[in-house]
Structure 1
Amino acid sequence: MDRRMFLSRGLALGCSIAASPLITPMAFASAPWDNRLVVILLRGAMDGLDVIRPVGDPAFADLRPGLTAEAPHHALDGFFAMHDGLSALLPLWQAGEMSFVHAVSTPYRDRRSHFDGQDLLEAGIAGLDEGLRDGWLNRMLATVPGLESEIAFAVGRERMLILSGDAPVSSWAPNTRLELSPATERLLEYVQHSDPLFRDASADAIAIAAEVAAGGEMMGERVGRGNSVTMAQFAASRLVGDTRIASFSISGWDTHNRQHRGLPGRLGELSDTILTLKANLGDVWDKTTVVCMTEFGRTARQNGSDGTDHGTGGAMLLAGGAVRGGRVISDWPGLEEGDLYDRRDLMPTRDVRAHAGWLMRGLFGLSTGTIEGAVFPGMEMGTDPGLLL
């Protein structure tokens, strides 16, 4: 029986599972390597064409006359420009600690459902007919023998498929409370005294809840706003110790209407989250890679509501001291109508899973065969895009 099962059984003792600091989706994990990986899922389909604008493509301005005029940007490499909402991250780009990957997607096509798209992104499989049994980060952990639950933490309230599976993981949710009277604590000690698994898991839950209530876990530097910043603080507090992998999500990227008003706030929160990680990781930042992924991109053309609809090809953001930054990595397909997927979406030219696979190979030393066979079954990694130093 693992800790998650223990906490579920805790309902019989009158404890709310929602109150436990070991449940929900920010995920972490410690392992026999020194590099760190943080996976941030951007739920709602981030518009990669607005965030990393291909201003050097002559078709771009005609597809989005309103959106490109509404928000300023920063030139990056003569072809791509970065949305002004990420301006706080410009020093990372200039320091070579941030890069982007464009025109990527999962194998998901045509139906463009957020729920299905997110499930496939987290499961790391080619189609729903293969079944959603576990997530690719958990499968990666399962390839390394002898890992303990602190190897992976899920941070947040919703279930995160990406870390679900047979490998042991731990979880934490912000703004939760596990408040037990002294008499109840003594009763738990008495009831569980002869069962080390229950006793130790209960003690850990009570201790972490007490630290959070006292501010002990949140003493790091806080940058900006949002619940995701709190999650980043907690993630960093674990990553500077034995934890090696963390995953959580930021929602709100669905921009059907007035995209020029809604997207800057999301980008600002993402910037604050990444800067919070950097501020609290200290020297560990040099060993860290942060990868931000979304379920699919958005339409190449803006719609009649000054927004964009569900699309296909999108973009990834990479940050960290381990990243070979200052680059936009892309096999750019072009934006002329004949170049678009289904004559409406950015054509994906690489599988987003392949880039995640190359990160795991570079950070953790997994073989190509293990990644293609066990982590992302049936996927071909292709050529190395050189994402890391």
Structure 2
Amino acid sequence: MSSSLSRRDFLARTGVIGCSLAASPLLTPVSFAAAPWDTRLVVIILRGGMDGLDVVQPYGDPAFNTLRGTLALGPEGGAYDLDGYFAMHPSLGPLIPMWEAGQLSFVHAVSTPYRDKRSHFDGQDLLEAGTTTMAGVRDGWLNRMLQAVPGVTSQTAYAVGRSDMLLLQGPAEVANWSPDADLSLSPQAARLLEIVTESDPALHAALAEAQILSEVTDDIKKRRKGSHVQIAEFAAARLSEEARIAAFSLNGWDTHGGQPRFMDTALTRLAETLLTLRGKMRGNTWRKTAVVAMTEFGRTARQNGTLGTDHGTGGLMILAGGAIKGGRVFGQWPGLGDGDLYQDRDLMPTGDVRAHAAWVMQSLTGLDRNVLESAVFPGLDMGNDLGLIL
């Protein structure tokens, strides 16, 4: 983009000044693919940089309360104790039965290879590409996995009208579906708006807030189920039949300020999504399903001055489904004390999200490890089996 076009000029030209910023939609496409195995994989991209230290709080770490201040809930503040060291955010309370049934787990202190610049767009691209660089990359890791499987067929397209996720872009054919939406901006304009505001912290935070509020307001005005529930219902129906893979996004995780309010909204939507998937899958489909929820990076270990957190590094993966080994917080915990943080600001990554995704796929599909390390995630060393799947 030419430097002569200022952020304010762009906002004016696209008609999104002031409160009209809230018209920017949340882009949540869903893609499906059939495959010659009987297990199901759901990948959810949590866009915006989810604060893993808020979702699963390490209240047993002596430095946590000092770093987090009013965001440090712990069991005394209403968070749900998981294992005597970690506690789950109160807004995920509806998932407690899933945790107790061994159908929910977390992986702490994980990240992609992305470091230091902390740009949503670079981070999301690398997350969905599954590579260490975007140079020459045109497809996503989930599409590359499908390319390695014989007999994959595409599904019928439903209400096609929005762009694919990079995660599933590539030569392997997949079908696309998205719920109805009254779009005031095209997906391209919405993404461009996010790009031009990213270097302006105030505008960037305002856009993130407006996106969350617009979805909530739209659902209320239309008096219908939220789009996340519609997506989960449709995914459950297709996965109960011939589809084997579903992928979609949930936005709303960019919590620079007023984090308690916006985390409550985002986590409530995530809980509703997981419960809808479980509740709407027919027969024994849920027992054969693994849900992997991933975000582009975590957030700062320290609470900022606006009751929020800023872009960070180490984050959290969420695993759900009847096929996963639930009731556990996986990962090597690095600590939050002096000298433990990455660049003295972020949770130190001790695991690679790609390795965890690879082991889930290997366990579900039986794909050869060499294929996963060379074709699906080029150059990845999966390490030892992480034991994420039953």
TM-score range, shorter chain: 0.7 to 0.9
What is the rounded CA distance, in whole Å, between the counterparts of 1:338 and 1:156 in structure 2?
49
- Is residue 147 from structure 1 mapped to residue 152 from structure 2 by the alignment? yes
Partner SS state of residue 150, structure 1: coil
State the partner residue of 1:31.
35
Contact 1:152 / 1:163 at 8 angstroms: preserved in 2? Answer: no
What is the rounded CA distance, in whole Å, between the counterparts of 2:374 and 2:349 in structure 1?
23
Aligned runs of 1:90-239 on 2, under 5 Å? 90-128=96-134, 130-150=135-155, 157-175=162-180, 225-239=225-239
Q: Label 1:388 to 1:138 Cα distance change in 2 as closer, same or farther (>3 A).
A: same
- C-alpha deviations, 1:94-113, integer Å up to 9, x for none? 00000000000000000000
Q: Label 1:294 to 1:90 Cα distance change in 2 as closer, same or farther (>3 A).
A: same
- C-alpha deviations, 1:39-75, integer Å up to 9, x for none? 0100000000000000111010100111114962000
Alpha-carbon offset, residue 383 of structure 1: 1.3
TM-score using structure 2 length: 0.79
TM-score using structure 1 length: 0.79
What is the rounded CA distance, in whole Å, between the counterparts of 1:156 and 1:317 in structure 2?
29
What is the rounded CA distance, in whole Å, between the counterparts of 1:62 and 1:143 in structure 2?
48
What is the rounded CA distance, in whole Å, between the counterparts of 1:85 and 1:24 in structure 2?
22
Q: Label 1:121 to 1:341 Cα distance change in 2 as closer, same or farther (>3 A).
A: same
Partner SS state of residue 37, structure 1: strand
Indicate the structure (1 or 2) with the bigger Cα radius of gyration.
1
Question: Which 5+ residue runs of structure 1 have no aligned equivalent?
Answer: 1-22, 178-223
Alpha-carbon offset, residue 278 of structure 1: 0.5
What is the rounded CA distance, in whole Å, between the counterparts of 2:49 and 2:368 in structure 1?
30
Contact 1:138 / 1:167 at 8 angstroms: preserved in 2? Answer: yes
What is the rounded CA distance, in whole Å, between the counterparts of 2:78 and 2:88 in structure 1?
9
State the partner residue of 1:371.
372
Alpha-carbon offset, residue 131 of structure 1: 3.0
Q: Label 1:377 to 1:100 Cα distance change in 2 as closer, same or farther (>3 A).
A: same
Q: Label 1:124 to 1:109 Cα distance change in 2 as closer, same or farther (>3 A).
A: same
What is the rounded CA distance, in whole Å, between the counterparts of 1:263 and 1:300 in structure 2?
16
What is the rounded CA distance, in whole Å, between the counterparts of 1:364 and 1:320 in structure 2?
15
For 1:277, the aligned partner's letter is L
CA RMSD of aligned residues (A): 2.1
- C-alpha deviations, 1:156-212, integer Å up to 9, x for none? 9453000000001100011169xxxxxxxxxxxxxxxxxxxxxxxxxxxxxxxxxxx
State the partner residue of 2:288.
287
Give the percent of matched residue pairs that are identical in Structure 1 and Structure 2.
61
Partner SS state of residue 353, structure 1: helix
Contact 1:154 / 1:248 at 8 angstroms: preserved in 2? Answer: no
Question: Which 5+ residue runs of structure 2 have no aligned equivalent?
Answer: 1-26, 183-223
What is the rounded CA distance, in whole Å, between the counterparts of 1:155 and 1:341 in structure 2?
42
Alpha-carbon offset, residue 286 of structure 1: 0.3
What is the rounded CA distance, in whole Å, between the counterparts of 2:56 and 2:73 in structure 1?
15
Residue 80 of structure 1: which of 80, 86, 104 is its match?
Answer: 86
For 1:138, the aligned partner's letter is N
Contact 1:123 / 1:136 at 8 angstroms: preserved in 2? Answer: yes
Q: Label 1:152 to 1:43 Cα distance change in 2 as closer, same or farther (>3 A).
A: farther
